[in-house]
Amino acid sequence: MTEITADEFVGRGNKEGADLFREWFDGLAEHAKRGEGAAYVFVMGSMAELLHVFDFPLVLPEITSLQTAVRRVADKYLAEAEDYGYSPDICGYVKADMAVQLRGGDHPMGRIPKPAIAVMTNACNTYIKWAEIWERMYGTPLFVIDVPATRQAGGQFQPGSADFERDRKYVEAQIRELIPLCEKVSGKKFDIDRLRETLKYANDMNTGWKRVLELNKSKPSLFNAVTDGTVYLGVSNNLRGTEKGSTFFKNLVEEMEYKAAHGIGTQIVEKYRLGFVGVPCYPIFRRFSEMFTEWGGNFVHSTYLNFASGGGSMGYEYDVNRPIESLAEGFLISVREAMDNMFHQDRVVIDWVKNYDLDGVVYHPIKSCRTVSTGLADGRRAMMAATDVPSLFIESDMMDKRVVSEAQMKNRADAFFEGLASRREMAKISS
């Protein structure tokens, strides 16, 4: 048996992820070229498991929009949407996508097909407003899967309780209403065995995702939750419920287990283990990360990986013997988890401080996303009251360079690390 070398494993996830990402965009461009429509879905509850049964290609406009920022053309797209009438104060993702639509699908990574159907949850209310724009532009049928989330902190309804069953039934009823709409739009009959198959692939991805996040408790940590993690997140969304997605996550777990077993960390010497709360700063994605890695800080976890995976991070496994009922249950639990990571993020972070041995927490609220950002200052106060871990609070945006003040952010990050260093020195002296 041939010994597997580190070269074959280390970095494989990033490379495969990038390739799959490219392939996804190329596939969308092919669909657009043939004039075929796509299912437009969102990262928090994409319903990919069901939509793949009808062979819909999936467009995730949050991802196509953020790519305009990563590729440094977002400013042009935002300006076009604002010229059309959209306010500077609304979500940048919406505006970038609006410009893509006004341009007939023109996108820096390839042409995006038009929406044939839009499926969204209420995990973010902007999803609904956003889809209403397509409804007006194209007459696209919309379907909101209304997912009841945690009503108040600590009050999550658990499976088996009457309250949970009430919520689950509501979600299931909606899924059963979505199926005929999918049949109508796609012209294909629903096939429950295909649903079983996509659920099985989604199970592989969910369990893999959970394991990968757990493995990052290793010291040194194995990947950077903001940079590498975003690549994995892309696959978890774009290829959810597919064989390729399943294979990717199996491989990723293999890579991370290898790295953990051999003490191989990220590309930096890890001095500080950090938690990240919010959404990354895509207009200066690399520089943003460097503000932390230059000081030896690595993000070992982020709420982003939890909520933007639609709660896939909690590793829910569907029961393929009762596919629709289980899809409803898993959907409810996972999307609720996504929401809890935004609204009750203090609880999540306090847990990480202990379990991931954090040295600090970075809060990055953004102008574009009030779902994620509204409660972060208050959540930070709660985290600081409950733990002894320092935190940094920097505001910018995930799309709009006009509100990204790089020099100011860098100053704040530098001061944060100086504080961490001095704290460490003091601890040495007092011990």
Partner 1 sequence: MTNHLFGTWQNQSLEGIFAECRELAENADFPTVKRWRENGGKVLGHFQVYFPEEIAHAAGMLPLKMRGAPVEPTHSDSRFGSYLCSILKTSLELVLSNRVELDMFVTHPICDAARNLAAVWGRNYSYPCQILYLPQNANSKASAEYLCGEYERVKGDIEAVTGTKVTDEALRNSLIVYNENRRLLRQLYEIKRKQPWLVTGFEAYLLMTVGGMILREEHNELLKTAIPLIEARPAKRQDKIRVVFEGGFCEQPPLDLIRAISQSCYIVDDDLLIGLRWILEDVPLEGDLLMNMADAYLEKSSYSPVQHDARKPKEKMLLQRIADSGAEAAIITAAKMCEPGLEDQVTYTKALDEKGIPYFVGEFEENMTSFDSMEIQLETFTENLIFS
In angstroms, what is the minimal distance from the CB of 122 to partner 1? Answer: 4
In angstroms, what is the minimal distance from the CB of 405 to partner 1? Answer: 12
Compute the Cα dihedral for 25, 27, 33, 36 and give only its sign. Answer: negative
Question: What type of residue is 347?
Answer: R
* Closer of 35 and 155 to partner 1 (Cβ): 155
Identify residues 204-243 at the interface with partner 1 (CB under 8 A): none
In angstroms, what is the minimal distance from the CB of 134 to partner 1? Answer: 12
Among 78-86, 260-268, 305-313, 419-427, the segment contacting partner 1 (CB under 8 A):
78-86
For residue 132, give the H/E element and its range.
Answer: helix 125-138
In angstroms, what is the minimal distance from the CB of 404 to partner 1? Answer: 13
Select from 287, 370, 410, 412 the one that contacts partner 1 (CB under 8 A). Answer: 370
Q: For residue 54, what are its two tokens?
A: 């009808």
**DSSP-based three-state secondary structure for 190:** coil
For residue 393, give the H/E element and its range.
Answer: strand 391-393
Select from 267, 374, 408, 411 the one that contacts partner 1 (CB under 8 A). Answer: 374
For residue 115, give the H/E element and its range.
Answer: strand 115-121
Select from 41, 94, 328, 389 the one that contacts partner 1 (CB under 8 A). Answer: 94
Ranges of beta strands (E only) in 22-114 are 38-40, 58-59
Among 25-33, 207-215, 229-237, 377-385, the segment contacting partner 1 (CB under 8 A):
377-385
* Closer of 268 and 382 to partner 1 (Cβ): 382
Select from 303, 333, 395, 413 the one that contacts partner 1 (CB under 8 A). Answer: 395
In angstroms, what is the minimal distance from the CB of 280 to partner 1? Answer: 16
Residue carrying structure tokens 């793949």 = 52
In angstroms, what is the minimal distance from the CB of 356 to partner 1? Answer: 22
Q: How large is the angle between the packed helices 61-70 and 74-84, nearest 10 degrees?
A: 120
Select from 9, 343, 352, 417 the one that contacts partner 1 (CB under 8 A). Answer: 343
**Contacts with partner 1: how many residues (CB under 8 A)?**
55
| Residue 286 DSSP class | H
**Cβ neighbours for 181, distance < 8 A, ≥ 6 positions apart:** 117, 141, 143
Question: What type of residue is 203?
Answer: N
**DSSP-based three-state secondary structure for 32:** helix
Q: Which of 50, 128, 130 is closest to 96 using CA atoms?
A: 130
Identify residues 147-206 at the interface with partner 1 (CB under 8 A): 148-149, 151-153, 155, 163, 166, 169-170, 173-174, 177
Q: Cα–Cα distance between 411 and 416 in angstroms, integer?
A: 9
Identify residues 124-143 at the interface with partner 1 (CB under 8 A): 124-126, 128-129, 132-133, 136, 142-143
Q: For residue 272, what are its two tokens?
A: 């500080």
* Closer of 91 and 112 to partner 1 (Cβ): 91
CA angle 211/225/354 to nearest 5° reads 70
Applying CB under 8 A, which residues contact partner 1?
Answer: 84-87, 89-91, 94, 122, 124-126, 128-129, 132-133, 136, 142-146, 148-149, 151-153, 155, 163, 166, 169-170, 173-174, 177, 342-344, 346, 365, 367, 369-371, 373-379, 381-382, 393, 395
